[in-house]
Chain A
Amino acid sequence: MKKAFVLGSCLLALALGFGASTAHADETCNSPFISALIRGQEQYLHVWTLGEVGVGDEADKLVTINVDSKSPAYGKVINSLSVGGRGEAHHMGLTDDRRYLWAGRLDDNKIFIFDLIDPAKPKLIKTITDFAAKTGYVGPHTFYAIPGRMLIQALSNAKSHDGVTAMVTYSNDGNYVATTKMPITNGGDGYGYDIGINPAKNALLTSSFTGWTNYMMDLGTLVKDSAAMKNFGKTMVMWDLKAMQPKKIFEVPGAPLEIRWSLKPQDNWAITATALTSKLWLVRQNDKSEWEAKDVATIGDPAKVPLPVDISIAADAKSLWVNTFMDGTTRLFDLTDPTAPKEIYSKKIGSQVNMVSQSYDGKRVYFTTSLLANWDKKGNDNEQFLKAYDWDGKELVHRFTVDFRELKLGRAHHMKFSGKTDAAALK
């Protein structure tokens, strides 16, 4: 892998006054090991986009949008990089130095590595095509930076295509390092979904979703299949991060999905939302420093199965955006007391909504629509967009919309921020 030498966001972070030991990611969902922060204004938003039959080139692609309100290109697509084919593009992750962006596909298991040396023009520099063959696992979902490595949570396995799966470690230059199987004993169901690390606690927390058979099935067909509906995750696992060994397994029914640790130093809790039971669950240490999990709030009306999906925690851990896919709504929860979150605001974003990313200062919030190609709504309800809002503490104020269907791009999914650099490369 050819490497030039630019660390753009580091310069930007330094320019903005990189403080002492409270470094946390800008999108608060980023790994804490990503040290080059964007604390001020993000310049670009990269959207990992699923190709859609009948839409443009029908291929998966990385779309880059200018999100700097001072730029004449604000709100415009400035780059679109097709990777060829449709393999269920899903999630992405930055390497610890922010130099590379890894993006995965859940169906054909390809992993694309983009060089963000010039974030306005990402370059595809490597494609990993043997993830399944090498590991025996499929559905590379979460890409989580650890020092010098990428930790990937797979969703399924190549043999049975159910949810029993593993985490796989690669070096930053794209070479396989190790496989860590999800536990299937002591209450473990073997399932996986998201990864969240709290380095101060030597803690790695994982959640659980479902396998290839289910996530590639049409949603309408799936919900009528009672046998298939039993094959959803119902656990979270607390791991010893250093040893990569499970320490405790929690029963969390209803498919706990995204994990967000409080980023406040000394805090000892993380929060997640369960997709099928529509609850917020809190994982934290009790008075004896033992980890425990407890449901702490209800999202919407569970009887209607609003399907909570992505969540975004504020940098000060005082609030949490929670999206519900089926009603296209975002909700803001007050987390001042994480044991008793309270919904304080909601807004309908569109017919469907999935991902949410907020700037580090919480003043800008971005939403996209696609969940999975076979789970997205159909017909006119299949809106595909990126919507950008300002949050003034009381109201989401719409700034711009990028209509991914009108622009013939595809289904808009995962988002990552980047910033430009004035630094000179070592060549």
Chain B
Amino acid sequence: MHHALLRCRHLASCVVLVLLAMSFYSASRAGDAAPSLLPAPGTYKLERIIKAPSGWVIEDSVWKPHRLASYTTQSITLFSFFYGTCRDPLGCPAAWSIFETVHQEIEKDPTLHGRVRLVFLSLDPSVDTPELLVFYRAKSKSAAPWYFLTTWSERFLKSILDGMGLTISFQLDAKGQRTGEILHMLKIYLIDPKGWVREIYTTDYIDPDAALNDIRNLVLEEDKQNGRR
């Protein structure tokens, strides 16, 4: 019963998240660089910033661990952190909106099929369990697979956060107890097939058009390296 209630609350939170995201996102586009201002894919280089860290994650079962590298190599990856009960309109809802747009655009573009994956990793493993994340699992089967991952505990999450250079903290109530709100700077990472982070997008200047432009830039770079053009 408790888990069912938690799942309902989680599901309701997600609906709220997406609605918040869509309203936020349309309001925020005024600050984004127009697509025409961006250099054409294939004409610029994204530098290697950091190597995506190693670590263990779980997707559909606590008994089936996966190396994080299996979700950050072999394809171009758009990666972000989230948590299901996030309310901050500038946080997870914003990332969700960006990912939805990118996801839809990739599905429409056959040249990107099989070349790009999207990954969300939970910041709240105690709530975002594989059972609760099953709601999103259908997205992993699309032409632009979108994976929802979690970890066994904060201990396993910490090394991944360290490696990505992300700092998180927990809102406390008057008694010093966690409220459930996780404070973090929204960052979305673009990772190349070799596991190098090549671009990082942050709050207020997150733009799906820019992300798609960079994805196409990496696709062209990969094709050139592999002699496909």
Contacts and interface: CB of A to CB of B under 8 A. Distances in A.
Interface string A11-44: 1001000101111000000001101100000000
A148 B171 CA distance: 23
Interface in A227-286: 240, 242-245, 265-266
B38 A426 contact: no
Contact of B37 (A21, A22, A99, A202): A202
A175 B172 CA distance: 34
A11 B167 contact: no
Q: How would you classify the secondary structure of chain A's contact residues: helix, strand, loop or mixed? A: loop
A18 B184 contact: no
Contacts of B197: 148
Contacts of B162: 3
Interface residues of A, number: 47
A425 interface: yes
Contacts of B158: 5, 426
Contact of A243 (B44, B165, B202): B44
Contact of B167 (A6, A35, A200, A265): A6
Most-contacted residue by chain B among A5, A20, A23 (CB, 10 A): A5
Nearest to A21: B28
B171 A177 contact: no
Contact of B169 (A6, A177, A244): A6
B49 A149 contact: yes
Interface stretch (B5-13, B59-67, B95-103, B203-211): B203-211
A319 B202 CA distance: 28
Contacts of A422: 172
Contact of A200 (B24, B32, B199): B32
B120 to A, nearest CB: 18
Interface string A385-427: 0000000000000000000000000000000000001111110
Pick the most buried of A22, A149, A266, A424: most chain B CB atoms within 10 A of its CB: A424
A393 B224 CA distance: 59
A80 B197 CA distance: 37
A219 to B, nearest CB: 38
Contact of A99 (B43, B48, B161, B167): B167
B169 A11 contact: yes
Given A20-B28, A35-B185, A148 B200 contact: yes
B4 interface: no
A97 B161 CA distance: 13
A8 B30 CA distance: 28
A185 to B, nearest CB: 19
Contact of A199 (B28, B49, B161, B205): B205
B31 interface: yes
A14 to B, nearest CB: 7
B27 A426 contact: no
B168 interface: yes
A242 B44 CA distance: 8
A199 B49 CA distance: 19
B31 A202 contact: no
B39 A20 contact: no
Given A22-B31, A177-B48, A423 B43 contact: no
A5 B169 contact: yes
B117 interface: no
Contacts, number: 135
A423 B89 contact: no
A266 B30 contact: yes
A35 B201 CA distance: 12
A178 interface: yes
A236 to B, nearest CB: 19
Contact of B183 (A148, A169, A200, A423): A423
Q: Which of B31, B50, B183, B201 has the most CB of A within 10 A?
A: B183
Interface string B86-100: 001110000000000
B134 interface: no
A200 B33 CA distance: 4
B178 interface: yes
Contact of A169 (B27, B47, B203): B47
Contacts of A243: 39, 43-45
Given A11-B183, A21-B31, A178-B47, A35 B37 contact: no
Interface string B35-55: 001110001110111100000
Nearest to A169: B47
A168 to B, nearest CB: 11
Interface string A116-152: 0000000000000000000000000000000111000
Nearest to B164: A148
A383 interface: no
Interface in B139-179: 154, 158, 161-162, 165-172, 176, 178
A383 B43 CA distance: 52
Contacts of B44: 240, 242-245
B187 interface: yes
10 contacts: A20-B89, A23-B204, A32-B204, A35-B204, A99-B167, A173-B165, A200-B30, A243-B45, A424-B176, A426-B158
Interface of A: 3, 5-8, 10-11, 14, 18, 20-23, 32-33, 35-36, 96-97, 99, 147-149, 169, 171-173, 175, 177-178, 199-202, 240, 242-245, 265-266, 421-426
> What 4 pairs across the A-B complex have the smallest Cβ distances?
A423-B169, A21-B28, A243-B44, A148-B200
Interface of B: 24, 27-28, 30-33, 37-39, 43-45, 47-50, 88-90, 154, 158, 161-162, 165-172, 176, 178, 183-187, 189, 197, 199-205, 210, 213
Given A171-B49, A426-B170, 12 more contacts: A5-B167, A5-B168, A6-B167, A21-B204, A22-B31, A96-B185, A171-B50, A172-B165, A423-B183, A424-B170, A426-B158, A426-B168
